[in-house]
Structures are given as C-alpha cells and as structure tokens.
Structure 1
Amino acid sequence: MVLTKLFRVNISNPDVSVLSEVCRDVLDGKIVVFPTETVYGLGASIYRSDALRRIFIAKNRPMDNPLIVHISKKEHLYEVAVDVSSNILKLIDVAWPGPLTLILKKSSSVPLEATAGLSTVAVRMPAHPVAEILINCTGPIAAPSANISGRPSPVTSHHILVDMFGRADMIVDAGDTIFGIESTIVDISTEPPRLLRPGAMPIEKIVEILGIDVIVTEVAKGYIEAEEAIAPGMKYRHYAPKTPLILVEGDVDNVIEVIKNIKKGMRIAILTCSENAEYYHRYVDKVVVLGSKKNLFEVARNLFIVLREIDRMGIDIAISEGFPEKGIGLAIMNRLRKASTKIIKSLHRTYS
C-alpha cells in the first residue's frame, strides 16, 4: 500500500504551485495520476526507469504492453523520436495538441520500459491545461490509462480514487475528462499508415489531413487481438466489467430475440441509444441509455462510466446494442467488442 497524496485542481485555473510540487516528485521518481482530455493517465518521467516499472506493478499491467509518451511541445518530440518526416509534421501541426497518438521510430533516449522493448515509441500531446503545465515542468511523461489493467479506463474523480488510491504516489484530480475515451493511435512509421486503435479523433479527420488512406485492421475494429502489442489497446482483454456483457450487432428485433433466449430468472440490463430505449422496458430489468445515435460523442463520453456502473446494478448479465461505425462510433464499437464476453452478429445490421 502506497501513501497517496491527493491534489484537487481547477481545470480553468490550475494552481501552478500545486503542480510544481507534483513536478518535483515526478522528477524524484514518483508516479502520478494526471488528467488529460481523453482519460486519466498514470505517469512517470521517461528518464526514470525505476518509476516506469512501478507503473506496471501498480496497474498489474503486462510488461509487453507499451506506454504512451506524453509531451507538451514540439521540442519534446525530437527528444523521443527520430526520422520525423514532413508527413508527420503536417499531421501534428493540425492534430496536436489533441487526442491523437502516433507510432514513431524511437530515439535512444527512450528507455525500454516505455516501449516494451520495441524500436518504436507511441507519442501524443494532450490538449489539457493541467497536463500541459505539468509536462512543461517535468519533460516527457510515459503513461497508460490510470486503471487496473483490463478494467474500463478512468474518466471521473471517483474512478481514479477507486483504482489508484494506495497504488499511485500522487493523484491530480481535475474532475471529469472531456472525451471520456482514449486517444486514436496511428502507426505512421509504415506506408501506408495503419490505424491501431480508434479513439477520440475520428479516422476520417486523419485521412483528410494526410490526404492518403489509412488502413483499418480487424484489430482496430476490436474483433481480434494483435499477437504483438505495438501500442496500448491491441492485446489482452480491455475495458471489461466483471458482469458478463453480450454485444449484439444487429437491430432492435435481434437484440430482443437475444434477451428472450437468456435463462429465465436472470436479471438483465440493456445498454442502448435514446432512440431505441422505449422498445426494451418490457423485456429487461434495467434500461441504460448511453446517448443518442445522432451524437456519438455523447455515447463515447458515457461509455466507460456505464461499463463501470454495470457491476453495481445488481444484474446478472448486460446486453449492448451496436452503434454506427462512423467517426467516433468506430472507437465505441472497438471498446464494446473488447469489453464483451460474447459478440452476436446479425446479417441485417441497421445502426443508422
């Protein structure tokens, strides 16, 4: 058990003196939970291998699952990566700071613990004032999400306290995150670029900036796991509640058919869009609305909150509808597929 120091800061007006104290401790080898616009991260200085190893212990994270290096200015990029091409610069000039992680060739200064021994490094520049102030002081910070491995990523104050109090040296609490889902990860060290994990930045936006296609693999869609984790979210089960979750990729009739086939007496919750909620009340014990199909950012923002709440609902099994795989919808479906214990696909999917 670690004696955790808790700092609460205002996202609109962060207390620089508080963050200076946190900075000193990070430089001294401590690990910190800190906010970003996507989810909370559990970070350490990339120049403290001892602290990086403690991140894996605190999360129960496999050592072959690389971290993301968080930077706050372009100069940091050249500290941690090499062969930064004009294509890369074109992308980051538009997309950074923001919820986009790029896989690049790593520099010799990045320790093996941050990259799981790979020759590449995952890098992003968060669009969050607290993260920016902190990283300006500490230099690059390597961090995965601040949750116990396999569980939904933390997006609220409650989540980080439940998962990391007594595990991290410090927690910087700035309230709920903005997007509620992790960054998009693109391997731009290959030609053509590959989407490794969909996230808060839609792949369509990245294609528009680059002016070239980006390969979307079955791993990125969430159907299969990668044999080797080049980036977070590619290998191992993620985002999962303890309660069994069935994902039905079909229309309302398909979902109702699945519900009817579940063993009598089992308490059931349905995760649905607001447009379909009325159809389920007579069939289940609890109807949980994630948001509207017309506003998938709302659905994404609520997803991890609901996946955590499932275990406190007093139900035996949860069922989720599918959502349109456009924009951030691809990230929503990736997370639902990885969180599910079973996926049922219909030949007649109608999400739009």
Structure 2
Amino acid sequence: MFNPNRLSIARKRRQLTKKDLAGKAGITAVTLTRLEGPGGGEPSVDTVRSIAEALGFPFEFFYMNDCDELTTEAVSFRSLSSLTAKQRDAALAAGSIAFEFHSWVSKKFTLPEQQLLDLRDEDPVAAAQALRSHWGIGTKPIDTLIKLLEAKGVRVFLLAEQHKNVDAFSCWRDGVPFMFLNTFKSSERSRFDAAHELGHLVLHMHGGNTNRDLEREADSFASAFLIDKGDLVSHLQRVRSLEQIVEAKTRWGVSVAALTRTAYNEKLISDWHYRDLCRQISQRGYRSTEPQSRPREKSVLWRMVFSELWKEGLTRDGIARDLNVPSDELESLVGDLVTEVPSAPPPQLRRLMVV
C-alpha cells in the first residue's frame, strides 16, 4: 500500500514544495496534496513512478512502513533561527533515513550500548568532569572524539547540507543517542560541535526547543569536556601571543578562537589582551579558516560495519538497495566518515561487531 509518510520524507529531503514536486512529476498540486495527506487513496503505479523519478527515490521506497519522523521539538538545532523551513525539514528527513539505516544495521550486528549519564541536575562544567570520570578519561586530552563517542554508544552521522546555516544536532531515539555533524566546518570546530551536542544529550536529555541558556550550557560543557582545567593551566600557564595559542591548540584539538575563550574564562588572559587576541583572530581570517588544522576524524564503527558487510559481498550501493533509499542518501550520511573499507576490522574492536 502507498505510504504518504514516505512521500513527505522524500519530498522534504529534496527541499521541494508540493507545488514544485507536482510540476516535476507531471501531476496537479491538488493531487499531490491529497496523496501526502491521510486517507489520500491509492495512486496509480504510473503516478508513483513519476513521483519517484522526480525525487530520485526508488519506487519501492513509497510502499514501506512509516519512517520515524523527527520534529524540531525532539532535536537540538544550534542555529535554528538561521535555517529556512526547507533546510530544517531536509535535515530532519535525513535523520529519518539515518534511523532506517541504523535499524537495518542493528539487526545484523551487536552495536555498542550507550554509556551516557543523565546529568540534568548538574552544572555544565561539573557534568563534563563527571562524564570524563565515568568514561575513565581523567584529565588527558581526547585524541579522537568520534571514536570515543562511538565506543560509548553514540551513533554519529553527517549532514548532507554543505552550508553553514545547518548546524550540528542531536537526539535520542529508543534509548540510543544520535548525533549529526556538519562537515562544512573545520575539523576543530566540528569536534567542538560534537562535544556541544554531547552536552545536550546528557544535560537536556533531549526534548523541547533550544534557547540561549541551553546553548550556553552546552558550550560550557563542550569547553570543559575537551579541555580539562588542570591540564590547561599546567600546559598554558601564561598567554603571551596568538602564535602561542596556535601552537598550543593542537594539544586539545580545538580552534584558536575556542582555546582563546577558554583561557580567558580561566583567567589566563586579561580583558584587554583577550580583546586584542580576538581582533587578531578576525584580522588573520581564523574565524573561517583554521591555522594548522588537524585531519578530519573518521568513524571506527561504520568503517567496521562496511568492512564486515564487504566480506559478504555487500557494498554501500547494495545496502541502499536493501533499504530502498537512494545511494546518495547513504553516502551523505556516512561517506566522509568512511574513506576506505579495510580488509578486516581492528582485532581489538571485533568484539563490537558480533553478528
């Protein structure tokens, strides 16, 4: 039976209005509105084929069970006010497809269970310290944040929207934490986004729209989680120049701007010196281009999944066919996280991949 929920998801992913899609599919806007609504009736096969071709989605996609639809109330958009309705809906629809992929993978593999804490009653800095302690990190810098998050049960995906308006977001689904990151930014800023979303997941256990207070809390959590205060003071006792900040930031994998702000918050930089450093950061273009940027982090979990599936002769295109989704949708969710498929997963992590 034709599923209007699937039609809505596919249309939103392509950022088309009902009128636009109707024109591309050669049907009337009234017909499309009826089909996407409840009790819209069963369209002809030719009509569905026209819609599928216009959207670039497999015909079979529209005859499957409902997708879990994300709502703005269930996620944390850091830049919700700067999003157009189309951008917001497209990002949320990508989340629905990620859920489909995750459910498919979960039937084949035993994935890491989530090991987050409910820290809703904690101060953000105290919460960051508590989670560091819970995960056995101590005060040391976090070398690969995505690998850590995946090992602790967070499912990390990417956003296909390659522009700065669509920021990172996170959500909970069936007790599993999900995180979506924007690769438009530098590696350092993406790491901060990931830590920020981790803050939302443990501090706000997601529900309700974000606001400035919640965003500040998540920022405070991210700073404290990525940079332990004791470690900062012992390695950056006194800030003398911007060059010193540029050199020091590599230890914690954060941006020049983020480290400068954290050092200022910890009283390692005076008011007038902080203002001067911010001026220099802007003048040198470090707000948009990060100096001495580290390589972008990759997924361990999805790389292992694709490695095991490759042994069975199942490629990403084959997975997309099994899911009845466009291959480009799967590629946009995990493509940049998995640059190559190894011949075998790392032995120390094979225990996460029990079939």
TM-score tier by shorter-chain length is under 0.3
Q: Which has the higher helix share?
A: 2
Structure 1-normalised TM-score?
Answer: 0.25
Larger radius of gyration: 2
Q: Which has the higher strand share?
A: 1
